[in-house]
Amino acid sequence: MFIDSHCHLNFPGLAEDLDNIFANMRANHVSQALCVSVDLATFPQVLKLAERHDNLYASVGVHPDYELEVEPNQEELVRLAQHPKVIAIGETGLDYFRLTGDLSWQRERFRTHIRAARECGKPLIIHTRSAAQDTLRIMAEEDAGRIGGVLHCFTENLEVAKAAIELGFYISFSGILTFKNATIIKEVAQSIPLEKILIETDSPYLAPAPHRGKTNQPAFVMHVAEEIARLRNIALDEVGEVTSQNFKRLFLKHS
């Protein structure tokens, strides 16, 4: 059994095709998936998926790539997170790759999410791109380790992974791990404890090999698990079992 710890099933390309997507999950032993919010306007769609399907969960948060007129506040995030199917806060974090200029609003928004997570007791889903040092610094300053969470779609080096684990966080690998040129990420997947690893698709984006370039879907998380098994020279079953236990330890311990 495998769990997709990060997908966007409400996005175009997936939302119209849910019956096939669920059938493919069953056929590939992907038992559960976490549907991650990117803004508050589409949060109801994400929540509806989790309410309608036993094996889907939701998160609430606003992605760092979304420039908004009105910033989400801590109170609202905490209120929306009260729903029993909302198991995480995010995705949140920093992205200095997609956006440039004065990004102090991004850092403030990230701090708001960490404070909300600590207040409501639900772990963080953190997105970080070209911003590892600021991400780690703000995590430490806001005592994010007190609630924990995951650095999702990990694309940084071993040093950053170790620092995040030190703060009490998990590392989640996406389909990028299966790409031939992902040497540094493969090294991370080989070196950190299996007990700190989650797997994800980030679908509809980033389809793993051998589906690269196609619309991604939760069933393909199996290929991420296969690559971890290959890199660590362990059985695929073990990767499935341990990463599923990790998911449950992180996200379902309170429910």
Please say whether the beta carbons of 42 and 105 come within 8 A. no
Report the distance separating Cα 107 and Cα 103, nearest Å.
7
Binding Zn ion (rule: CB under 5 A), the pick from 109, 113, 118, 127 is: 127
Q: Hunting for tokens 């995951």 — which residue is that?
A: 150
* Binding to Zn ion, residues 188-217 (CB under 5 A): 202
Is the CB of 172 or the CB of 244 nearer to Zn ion?
172
Report strand pairing: 149-151 vs 197-199. Answer: unpaired
With contacts defined by CB under 5 A, name the span among 19-27, 124-132, 186-194, 209-217 that binds Zn ion: 124-132
Please say whether the beta carbons of 127 and 90 come within 8 A. yes
* Least Å from the CB of residue 37 to Zn ion: 9
Q: Is 122 in the site for Zn ion (CB under 5 A)?
A: no
* Least Å from the CB of residue 102 to Zn ion: 22
* Least Å from the CB of residue 76 to Zn ion: 20
Please say whether the beta carbons of 33 and 4 come within 8 A. yes
Is the CB of 128 or the CB of 246 nearer to Zn ion?
128
* Least Å from the CB of residue 8 to Zn ion: 6
Please say whether the beta carbons of 216 and 201 come within 8 A. yes
Task: Using CB under 5 A, list all residues that contact Zn ion.
Answer: 91, 127, 202
